[in-house]
Amino acid sequence: SPEGERAFVRTTCAYCGVGCGIAATVTGERSVEIKGDPDHPANRGRLCSKGTQLGETVGLEGRLLHPMIGEARVSWDKAIDHVARRFARTIAEHGPDSVAFYVSGQLLTEDYYVANKLMKGFIGSANIDTNSRLCMSSAVAGHVRAFGEDVVPASYGDIDQADLFVLVGSNTAWCHPIVYQRMMAAREARGAKLVVIDPRRTETCEGADVHLAIRPGSDVALMNGLLAHCRREGAIDPDFIDASVSVPDGFWEALEDGGDLWSVARTCDVPPADLKRFYDLFVANPRTITLFSQGINQSLTGTDQVNAITNLHLATGRIGKPGAAPFSITGQPNAMGGREVGGLATTLAAHMDFAPENVARVGRFWAAERMAAKPGLKAVDLFRQVGNGKIKALWIMATNPAVSMPDAGAVRAALAACPFVAVSDCIADTDTGRFAHVRLPALGWGEKDGTVTNSERRVSRQRALFAAPGEARPDWWIVASVARRMGWRSAFSYDRPADIYREHARLSTYQNGGARLFDIGHHAAIANADYEAMEPYRWGGTPFAEGRFPTPDGKARLVPVVQRPLAPPLKDWPFTLNTGRYRDQWHTMTRTGLSPRLARHRQEPLVELHPADAAALGIAQGDLARVATPQGESVFRAHLDEGQRRGEAFVPIHWTDRQSTGGRAGLLPRDLVDPHSGQPGFKATPARVERV
Ligand code: SF4
């Protein structure tokens, strides 16, 4: 803004999937005052600590401001030419499946759309996967199995009407603070009850009516037991089931097997009285929302766990009604936008799968040169194929897999051996960028312009506050420039994000064709209105309000899921290692690490242990402790906390080579995945802990 003028901009927070609206007042060249947007339905003026401190993170310290080939600064023209030639040559010599993109829930929807279109419609491979695979792909797989489509059946408005909140595997108070505050307001106003299911006692558990510190991985037993209990107590909704739910043969009989309260309490290792209190609260409160996040999703049985939850809500008719739904709350600001455009290797575009008619339809719409006809590699497999030499050119956008992938040491080895790695990022020095042959400077928050979709599927604008610094460019511009250089000029001739959004909207309508349940043609109506002035909007109304689901027979499905046997601890690896977030940090701290205020909450990475376990190892409060797994090891400062279960350890995910030599959680988890979703099981790695 001209000197002295204060520009007011409505935009969206950079961090989590709550998707809070921000009222920003630009006060100088790189300074801004941040307030919550009182008119944004997601947060109604509130912000958490991370959102509030966004103004401290907009400086240019550490930014990548020019294209780089190796350590040499080059022009955009040269950088684009280099990336285009390397990809074209690799495809010509080894075929389309020898290249891959690894993208991110930090991208805006428009960025995601263009990258997806280039890979799936023109390169001709579906090898584009996203770090959202690590975050919520089990929710996607569970939704598809239960509802026929990846639909989130809840909105934040439901929180205001629920009588019972069941939080499963979610430290909501720290990770989705504004959702948590909204639940607390409902408790205050109407006495809504709160049950927290989490092996750790976290801040979220404070004031809960019941906290069940279940044995990790016993969620299916807990939910199946609850469904059996509902059946015994007459809390099943037979009319809803008759009209709207298909029940496989033998479903109820299998459920009764081992579903009595005492057996469940033993399997889950919780006091039977607490379990009974939870079950009774569930039966007594039809307006129940079950919110779940990484504790459910980041499991080797994550999809089954999601379906144990959807089974409960379907069988009791607690879906499609105000204040009643299962609700997957997403981690990243735009994981949902990625899901909508098809930014996962397993979806095509606009929520379509790879059915031949969908491949043909999208191919027609894009005037595609070469359409991918089958799903591509999911994240863990993708990096394995980089490691074994099958992927020979990789482009990583807005994410840091050298830190965030499971078995990050193996991912580093794969990147080091890959013949060509391009990295688009706004940060100059990231652990992943160190493996790049070409680094492309992308815009950061406060410079980007486009849309994001939050956990309740509300689309909001993210708007630029500042001019692009140095030679940084939007991600969509970078991808489209490479696509044009590869020869696809007219398909990637976008001038501004509105052009891309309108195309995405048209594709949504095009695929809809009146045949599907949800009229996402609403997208088109909005897109054809003034993109610049777009107000936050949520499409889909109340999903399933009519009791119809997007399956061939219009019915949802109960999915038979059984509790997998829980293995006893291994002799050499007696601990179960859990990972998660701190309240005031975000992912690998490239942005939140810039804020001195946010650093105050937790200044270093801690390994949390039960005091009795620590005593047995000779570890005192504040000692250094080594955490080792078969994949790697790292040193953390010990924090003793009775809120840990015996035999378990918890470490934060945030620290990287940039900040410290210790506290490297990413080196520790195995790269095993859920068989349905491909999501890694970060939450339960066999580990050893010892005093340094
Ligand atoms: Fe940002 Fe999430 Fe905090 Fe809202 S709750 S201000 S979206 S980090």
Return the structure tokens found at 633: 């090891």
CB-CB contact of 573 with 688 (8 Å): yes
Calpha distance 204→173 (Å, rounded): 5
Residue 95 clears pLDDT 60, i.e. is over it: yes
The confidence score (pLDDT) of residue 414 equals 98
Calpha distance 123→370 (Å, rounded): 6
Looking at the predicted complex, does its ipTM rise above 0.85? yes
The confidence score (pLDDT) of residue 524 equals 52
* Nearest CA among 558, 553, 557 for reference residue 253: 558
| Sign of the dihedral through C-alpha 397, 380, 411, 292 | positive
Return the structure tokens found at 144: 């598809």
Which residue shows structure tokens 């701190």?
582
Distance 582 CA to ligand 1 centre (A): 13
Shortest-distance Cα residue to atom 4 of ligand 1: 20
Distance 178 CA to ligand 1 centre (A): 7
- Surface-to-core class of residue 490, CB atoms within 10 Å of its CB (0-12 exposed, 13-18 middle, 19+ buried): exposed
For the ranges 148-162, 370-384, 480-494, the lowest mean pLDDT is seen at 148-162
CA-14 nearest atom, ligand 1: 1
Q: Residue 664 phi/psi, 5° resolution?
A: -95, 80
Confidence of residue 3 (pLDDT cuts 50, 70, 90): very low
Mean pLDDT calculated for residue range 92-108? 96
Distance 397 CA to ligand 1 centre (A): 22
Per-residue pLDDT tens for 624-636?
999 999 999 999 9
Distance 682 CA to ligand 1 centre (A): 23
The confidence score (pLDDT) of residue 529 equals 63
Q: What percent of the chain has pLDDT over 90?
A: 73
Calpha distance 538→540 (Å, rounded): 7
Residue 528 clears pLDDT 60, i.e. is over it: no
- Surface-to-core class of residue 528, CB atoms within 10 Å of its CB (0-12 exposed, 13-18 middle, 19+ buried): exposed
Confidence of residue 120 (pLDDT cuts 50, 70, 90): very high
The confidence score (pLDDT) of residue 359 equals 93
Between strands 632-640 and 606-609, the pairing is parallel
Calpha distance 389→482 (Å, rounded): 23
Calpha distance 222→225 (Å, rounded): 5
Better-predicted residue by pLDDT, 498 or 657: 498
The confidence score (pLDDT) of residue 683 equals 83
Better-predicted residue by pLDDT, 202 or 225: 225
CB-CB contact of 421 with 394 (8 Å): yes
Better-predicted residue by pLDDT, 4 or 274: 274
- Residue among 48, 591, 592 to mutate when testing ligand 1 (max atoms within 8 A of CB): 48
Shortest-distance Cα residue to atom 2 of ligand 1: 16
* Nearest CA among 549, 211, 194, 165 for reference residue 323: 165
* Nearest CA among 343, 362, 368 for reference residue 511: 362
Q: For 458-504, what is the HEC assignment?
A: EEEEECCCCCCCCCCECHHHHHHHHHHHCCCCHHHCCCCHHHHHHHH
The confidence score (pLDDT) of residue 341 equals 86
Distance 538 CA to ligand 1 centre (A): 18
Give the DSSP letter of residue 123: I
Distance 52 CA to ligand 1 centre (A): 8
Q: Residue 578 phi/psi, 5° resolution?
A: -115, 150
Calpha distance 232→229 (Å, rounded): 5
Distance 419 CA to ligand 1 centre (A): 39
CA-36 nearest atom, ligand 1: 6
Mean pLDDT calculated for residue range 609-630? 95
CA-333 nearest atom, ligand 1: 7
- Residue among 43, 44, 56, 106 to mutate when testing ligand 1 (max atoms within 8 A of CB): 43
The confidence score (pLDDT) of residue 537 equals 84
Q: What percent of the chain has pLDDT over 70?
A: 95
For the ranges 36-40, 328-332, 396-400, 636-640, the lowest mean pLDDT is seen at 328-332
- Residue among 12, 135, 176, 332 to mutate when testing ligand 1 (max atoms within 8 A of CB): 176
Residue 331 clears pLDDT 80, i.e. is over it: no
The confidence score (pLDDT) of residue 522 equals 53
CA-49 nearest atom, ligand 1: 3
Confidence of residue 515 (pLDDT cuts 50, 70, 90): very low
The confidence score (pLDDT) of residue 513 equals 47
Distance 232 CA to ligand 1 centre (A): 41
Per DSSP, helices labelled H in 125-176 are 137-147, 156-159, 172-175
Per-residue pLDDT tens for 274-293?
999 999 999 999 999 999 99
Between strands 458-462 and 450-453, the pairing is antiparallel
Ligand 1 binding pocket, CB closer than 6 Å:
13, 15-16, 18-20, 43, 47-48, 50-51, 176-178
Calpha distance 114→671 (Å, rounded): 29
Better-predicted residue by pLDDT, 502 or 559: 559
Full-model pTM:
0.94
Residue 496 clears pLDDT 90, i.e. is over it: yes
Q: How many other CB atoms are found less than 10 A from the CB of residue 529?
A: 12
Calculate ∠ Cα 525-529-533, nearest 5°: 130
Q: Residue 163 phi/psi, 5° resolution?
A: -105, -15
Mean pLDDT calculated for residue range 234-250? 97
- Residue among 18, 53, 54, 601 to mutate when testing ligand 1 (max atoms within 8 A of CB): 18
Q: Residue 326 phi/psi, 5° resolution?
A: -80, 145
The confidence score (pLDDT) of residue 540 equals 64
Residue 303 clears pLDDT 50, i.e. is over it: yes
Distance 23 CA to ligand 1 centre (A): 13
The domains found in the chain, sorted by start residue, are 7-57 (3.30.200.210), 68-135+333-490 (3.40.50.740), 137-329 (3.40.228.10), 575-691 (2.40.40.20)
For the ranges 159-173, 469-483, 497-511, the lowest mean pLDDT is seen at 497-511
Calpha distance 210→271 (Å, rounded): 11
Calpha distance 165→185 (Å, rounded): 12
Calpha distance 579→406 (Å, rounded): 11
Calpha distance 268→275 (Å, rounded): 9
Calpha distance 669→687 (Å, rounded): 9
Residue 223 clears pLDDT 50, i.e. is over it: yes
For the ranges 255-264, 269-278, 330-339, the lowest mean pLDDT is seen at 330-339
Mean pLDDT calculated for residue range 251-260? 84
CB-CB contact of 627 with 687 (8 Å): yes
Per-residue pLDDT tens for 434-464?
999 999 999 999 999 999 999 998 999 999 9
CB-CB contact of 254 with 288 (8 Å): no
Q: How distant, in Å, are the alpha carbons of 6, 14, 56, 387 from that of 31?
A: 10, 16, 8, 43
